[in-house]
Structure 1
Amino acid sequence: MATTFWEDTKAGGKSGASFWSSGHTPTLIAAFLYFDLAFMVWVVLGPLAPDISAALGLSPAQKGLMVAVPTLAGALLRVVNGLLVDRIGPKRSGAISQIIVIAGLFCAWMLGVTSFGGTLALGVILGFAGASFAIALPLASRWYPPEHQGKAMGLAGMGNSGTVLAALFAPTLSKLFGWNSVLGLACIPLTLVFIAYMLMAKDAPNRPAPKNIAHYFEPLKTADAWWLMAFYSVTFGGFVGLAASLPIYFTDRFALSPVTAGYCTAACVFAGSLVRPMGGALADRIGGVKALTGVFIVAALALAGVGAMTTVASALALFVIAMLALGTGNGSIFQLVPQRFSAEIGVMTGLVGMAGGVGGFYLASSLGIAKQWTGSFEPGFLIFAALTVVALGGLLLVKGKWRSSWGAAEGVRI
């Protein structure tokens, strides 16, 4: 008999069933909503950066660091959240993280942020929102069998579309009410999603038994873990680094207003977010390695070319292409992670997510430094394009071993 929307569909996911009947749909929706709103506030300093910079008199390097700190804090906290997920379960871990973010934003709104140091402190609090990655994905993933991991992780991970909301609405709200008021207004949707999350989310019954802390870092003894982390530092690092930096790029490079720059950024981020589940589904069909090969080639070419663009339209077109590739890559990598590390999915999500955050921190901060030292963003884009080529070389190096070892053992395309 078919179950209702609110009933458990399967205990941990039924292999061989269709996607929608193989897992727990309310939990998948809750994971998406939590991830979506968390990502919205994680990058909110990017769309607000032009107004904050004008109010506090920040240099290009300070602006780059301001938007990069939430990314780095989120990267480090993802490891903490990965440990919490495996110790106390993803639902409770997510509840704790959401309360911290809501309380932090409320205090920042009430007290005000009046210095560069204050923006960095706020960035650390926003890092808890970025660390939602290590909670939302295992919350959804544990309900689905191997053949549907790409789609499940892609749909939950599509919550990074929250960056679109920040780019679309934060500049306009800042213009109407002031940028500090945006921090308080963000608490409203965050609270509503927290209530929905507590009602809808449910931990899968197949959660592994807690282990000693040292055991959580066993994956780091394998080269595969480091390769997956490196690849994600490029795909997700490029995505979130651009999401945080593009409002600054468009205002500084083309003298656009913060609102118009937000619209341009939203178009780019929407493209990258939209294709994440498609990247997971594509990887399910043709294998994550093949999908990533195309991703790295397209992203490298687009990022290498964008610095030389002299019009808004041409730069925007290349950014959209780059984000489409990077978003596809994000979904493809998380088709691979559960195949190789199914028993350590919580901590591996945290470790891989941490690497992605570090990549985003590097890109966002390096663009600000490049602008201050050379007067142009182009060196920052060129270096990151080169890192993408390095990642492609690494993928070509390991793909044969992956396919002949754990890929063959799992019987799933990689």
Structure 2
Amino acid sequence: MDGGAAMAAPVAKHDKSGFWQAGHKPTLFAAFLYFDLAFMVWVMLGPLAPIISKEMGLSPAQKGLMVAVPTLAGAILRLVNGLLVDRIGPKKTGAIGQIIVIVGLMCGYLLGVDSYGGTLAIGVVLGFAGASFAVALPLASRWYGPEHQGTAMGIAGMGNSGTVLAALFAPILAKTFGWNAVLGLACIPLAIVFVAYMIMAKDSPNQPAPKPLTAYFEVLKHQDAWWFMLFYGVTFGGFVGLSASLSIWFTDQFALTPVMAGYCTAACVFAGSLVRPFGGATADRIGGIKTLTGVYILAAATLVAISTNPTALPVALGLFLLVMATLGFGNGAVFQIVPQRFQKEIGIMTGLVGFGGGVGGFYLASSLGFAKQLTGSTQYGFLIFAGLALVALAGLTVVKRRWRSTWGAELVGAKI
């Protein structure tokens, strides 16, 4: 069943004022800040991977799995957070997640992590940080009407720029103090942001009434929910998978130091994070469907070019900058459409769509490691993901006419 029109009615009223006069700015900033620091620690094992793998003598497949575990754990926990957001509210859900991450990292620092199994356990803890996605976006979204969803979700979602902080500072701190110490040092900014979050964040008065647990999975009866999971599995999955893997790729391909590889990774991640709000704002203006069509075409072409394993660092860096910016642009576009279609279920839908994105990231990060170990090259990992982008493009082509003629036709002040 797919009764689109019945699900599309937005909770927030149409607001003809400008974006900065609408909504609740302290909550929007709190959502961004929480998301930013959570993402910083979520992908932290990626920049640390060259150092950890050298100390422990890890194989390419082990490295790939190590950086992919936080992504998979985050994907699964996003479903849990999506349920909690709709039952107890996003602010409380976010507070619980932040406490778990801070306590988990401090325990890892105090007890010490000296085995491969220990790094995987830390990866599971970091998954709670990755699950912040299912909290920060509905926390911001419920304060804004349909005409501002792309911009609001883009600004809140720009918190994925925290991956830049991890890429920049984790290798330097690890070189100075040891990589175990980075776990403890990360708790300092996390604790500061937790205090700021508790002061500034406020649940929207549009918080829906709690439903029976089984009601949350009613959305899975709608094929559009599955389409959104696929679309985000490519855009966000590509972004976070590369964020976790690029430090390894640059050290393996060009024999860069972990610090220099971190700088290259930070530049790529910054490009993807910076353009996310522009992707949402562009989708607000021309529609998310048109925006995503261009995203999938360009992402597939760039990934194919990357699969040739460029031998010049400037060329490789330029291609990764382009694909990360493209995927980041697409992240903003996907979440311009999701709230239009499932505003009343935005909590669970953010969890489900975020789950799709996390699974995509887990697949990309782990497949690059396995491809490297089995074939001596990451080529097939990139090629298969390019194929997934084309599958998403085909799916978008299939659904766009139905979307525009059913629930999309009933939107007031917004485009899809």
Task: Identify the residue that residue 139 of structure 2 maps to in structure 1.
Answer: 139
| Alignment partners' CA distance in 2, 1:62 and 1:203 | 41
Task: Identify the residue that residue 378 of structure 2 maps to in structure 1.
Answer: 377
Task: Identify the residue that residue 95 of structure 1 maps to in structure 2.
Answer: 95
User: What's the CA shift string for 1:72-131, capped at 9, x where partnerless?
Assistant: 000000000000000000000000000000000000001111111111111000000000
| Alignment partners' CA distance in 2, 1:368 and 1:261 | 17
Secondary structure (helix, strand or coil) at the match of 1:256 reads coil
Q: 1:66-105, aligned counterparts within 5 Å? A: 66-105=66-105
Task: Identify the residue that residue 342 of structure 1 maps to in structure 2.
Answer: 343
Aligned length: 404
| Alignment partners' CA distance in 2, 1:128 and 1:12 | 29
Task: Identify the residue that residue 387 of structure 1 maps to in structure 2.
Answer: 388
Q: Is 2:14–2:147's contact at 8 Å kept on the other side of the alignment?
A: no
| Alignment partners' CA distance in 2, 1:32 and 1:14 | 23
Task: Identify the residue that residue 125 of structure 2 maps to in structure 1.
Answer: 125
| Alignment partners' CA distance in 1, 2:213 and 2:401 | 32
Question: Which structure 2 residue ranges, 5 or more long, are not aligned?
Answer: 1-10
Task: Identify the residue that residue 171 of structure 2 maps to in structure 1.
Answer: 171
Q: Is 1:14–1:22's contact at 8 Å kept on the other side of the alignment?
A: no
Task: Identify the residue that residue 323 of structure 2 maps to in structure 1.
Answer: 322
User: What's the CA shift string for 1:174-215, capped at 9, x where partnerless?
Assistant: 111111111110000000000000000000011000000111
Question: What displacement does 1:12 show?
Answer: 5.7
| Alignment partners' CA distance in 2, 1:214 and 1:79 | 13
Secondary structure (helix, strand or coil) at the match of 1:23 reads coil
Q: 1:168-207, aligned counterparts within 5 Å? A: 168-207=168-207
Tell me which of the two structures has the higher relative contact order, counting C-alpha pairs closer than 8 angstroms and 6 or more residues apart.
2
Task: Identify the residue that residue 259 of structure 1 maps to in structure 2.
Answer: 259
| Alignment partners' CA distance in 2, 1:228 and 1:12 | 21
Question: What displacement does 1:56 show?
Answer: 1.1
Q: In the alignment, is residue 312 of structure 1 matched against residue 342 of structure 2?
A: no
Q: 1:329-368, aligned counterparts within 5 Å? A: 329-368=330-369
Q: Is 2:141–2:149's contact at 8 Å kept on the other side of the alignment?
A: yes
| Alignment partners' CA distance in 2, 1:310 and 1:57 | 26
**Larger CA deviation: 261-270 vs 12-21:** 12-21
| Alignment partners' CA distance in 2, 1:206 and 1:394 | 32
Secondary structure (helix, strand or coil) at the match of 1:143 reads coil
The one-letter amino acid paired with 2:410 is A
Question: What displacement does 1:134 show?
Answer: 0.2
| Alignment partners' CA distance in 1, 2:334 and 2:75 | 17
Secondary structure (helix, strand or coil) at the match of 1:211 reads coil
Task: Identify the residue that residue 216 of structure 2 maps to in structure 1.
Answer: 216
Secondary structure (helix, strand or coil) at the match of 1:204 reads coil
Question: Which structure 1 residue ranges, 5 or more long, are not aligned?
Answer: 1-10
Task: Identify the residue that residue 8 of structure 1 maps to in structure 2.
Answer: none
The one-letter amino acid paired with 1:291 is T
Q: Is 1:12–1:205's contact at 8 Å kept on the other side of the alignment?
A: no
Q: In the alignment, is residue 273 of structure 1 matched against residue 276 of structure 2?
A: no
Q: Is 1:12–1:204's contact at 8 Å kept on the other side of the alignment?
A: no
The one-letter amino acid paired with 1:413 is K
Q: Is 1:13–1:22's contact at 8 Å kept on the other side of the alignment?
A: no
Identity of aligned residues (%): 72
Task: Identify the residue that residue 413 of structure 1 maps to in structure 2.
Answer: 415
Question: What displacement does 1:307 show?
Answer: 2.2
Q: Is 1:299–1:385's contact at 8 Å kept on the other side of the alignment?
A: yes
Q: Is 2:12–2:146's contact at 8 Å kept on the other side of the alignment?
A: no
Task: Identify the residue that residue 6 of structure 1 maps to in structure 2.
Answer: none
Secondary structure (helix, strand or coil) at the match of 1:102 reads helix
Task: Identify the residue that residue 402 of structure 2 maps to in structure 1.
Answer: 401
Question: What displacement does 1:20 show?
Answer: 1.0
Segments of 4+ moved more than 4 angstroms: 11-14
Q: Is 1:71–1:360's contact at 8 Å kept on the other side of the alignment?
A: yes
RMSD: 0.9
Q: Is 1:163–1:243's contact at 8 Å kept on the other side of the alignment?
A: yes
Secondary structure (helix, strand or coil) at the match of 2:275 reads helix
User: What's the CA shift string for 1:33-69, capped at 9, x where partnerless?
Assistant: 0000000000000000001001111110000000000
Task: Identify the residue that residue 3 of structure 2 maps to in structure 1.
Answer: none
Q: Is 1:13–1:143's contact at 8 Å kept on the other side of the alignment?
A: no
| Alignment partners' CA distance in 2, 1:262 and 1:328 | 22
Q: Is 1:234–1:359's contact at 8 Å kept on the other side of the alignment?
A: yes
| Alignment partners' CA distance in 1, 2:274 and 2:75 | 22
The one-letter amino acid paired with 2:155 is L
| Alignment partners' CA distance in 2, 1:42 and 1:245 | 13
Q: Is 1:150–1:280's contact at 8 Å kept on the other side of the alignment?
A: yes
| Alignment partners' CA distance in 1, 2:335 and 2:12 | 18
Q: Is 1:216–1:347's contact at 8 Å kept on the other side of the alignment?
A: yes
Q: 1:228-243, aligned counterparts within 5 Å? A: 228-243=228-243
Change (3 A) 1:44 1:229: same
Q: Is 1:90–1:136's contact at 8 Å kept on the other side of the alignment?
A: yes
Question: What displacement does 1:14 show?
Answer: 6.1
| Alignment partners' CA distance in 2, 1:186 and 1:221 | 41
